[in-house]
C-alpha cells in the first residue's frame, strides 16, 4: 500500500499547454464511490489500471494501484461504472523540480481544468507555476468521483 499525498488547484489560463513535456488521453469511471473508498478503472492511451483509494485525511490517503488488461477495463467501464465516464487529456508539466499533472476535461464538464501535484510529505514547501489558480485540495466538488456521480444524475 502506498500513501498518496496530493494537492489540487484550479488552472487560470492555458499556458500549461506550452510548458507540457507530454500529454495522455484518459477515460475513467468508478465502480464504487463510497466514503470509505473509491474504486476506479482508468484507461490511459493503450494501458489500463484498477485503483482503490481510501478516505482523504487532509492531503493524505491510502492508495493501491494494479495494471489490468485494457479489454477488461473497457468491459468494467461498460458494465459496472456507477456514474458518467470521465474523458480528459492529462498534460505533464515539470516546474521547479516537480511534476505537475494538469487535467483538461472533455466530458462530462468541458472546460474544467485542474492541476495536481504529488508531494513527499504533507508540509512540503511548494513553488506554484504561473498558471495555478485557487487551491481546491479537499473540496469534494473537484473529486473526479464526485464529477462522475453528479454528471450521471443530471
pLDDT in tens, 113-151: 999 999 999 889 999 999 999 999 989 899 998 888 877
Q: Is the pTM of this model over 0.85?
A: yes
Residue of 16, 18, 30, 95 with catalytic role = 30
* pLDDT score for 1: 65
Is there a contact between 8 and 136 (Cβ–Cβ < 8 Å)?
A: yes
pLDDT at position 43 over 70 = yes
Distance CA 102, CA 71 (A): 26
Helix (H) or strand (E) holding 116: strand 113-118
Q: What's the full length of the chain, in residues?
A: 154
30 among known catalytic residues: yes
Q: Please report, for the chain, the start and end positions of each structural domain, with discontinuous segments joined by +.
A: 2-152
16-20, 82-86, 121-125, 147-151, range with greatest mean pLDDT: 16-20
Span 24-33, average pLDDT: 95
Q: What is the CATH number of domain 2-152?
A: 2.40.320.10
Distance CA 35, CA 13 (A): 32
Amino acid at each position: 500500500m502506498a500513501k498518496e499525498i496530493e494537492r489540487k488547484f484550479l488552472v487560470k489560463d492555458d499556458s500549461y499547454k506550452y510548458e507540457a513535456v507530454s500529454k495522455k488521453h484518459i477515460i475513467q469511471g468508478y465502480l464504487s464511490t463510497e466514503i470509505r473508498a473509491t474504486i476506479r478503472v482508468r484507461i490511459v492511451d493503450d494501458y489500463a489500471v484498477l485503483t482503490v483509494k481510501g478516505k482523504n485525511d487532509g492531503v493524505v490517503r491510502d492508495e493501491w494501484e494494479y495494471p489490468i488488461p485494457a479489454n477488461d477495463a473497457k468491459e468494467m467501464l461498460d458494465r459496472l461504472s456507477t456514474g458518467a465516464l470521465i474523458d480528459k487529456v492529462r498534460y505533464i508539466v515539470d516546474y521547479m523540480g516537480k511534476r505537475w499533472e494538469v487535467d483538461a476535461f472533455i466530458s462530462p464538464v468541458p472546460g474544467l481544468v485542474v492541476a495536481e501535484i504529488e508531494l513527499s510529505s504533507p508540509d512540503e514547501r511548494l513553488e506554484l507555476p504561473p498558471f495555478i489558480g485557487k487551491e481546491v485540495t479537499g473540496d469534494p466538488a473537484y473529486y473526479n468521483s464526485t464529477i462522475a456521480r453528479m454528471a450521471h444524475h443530471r
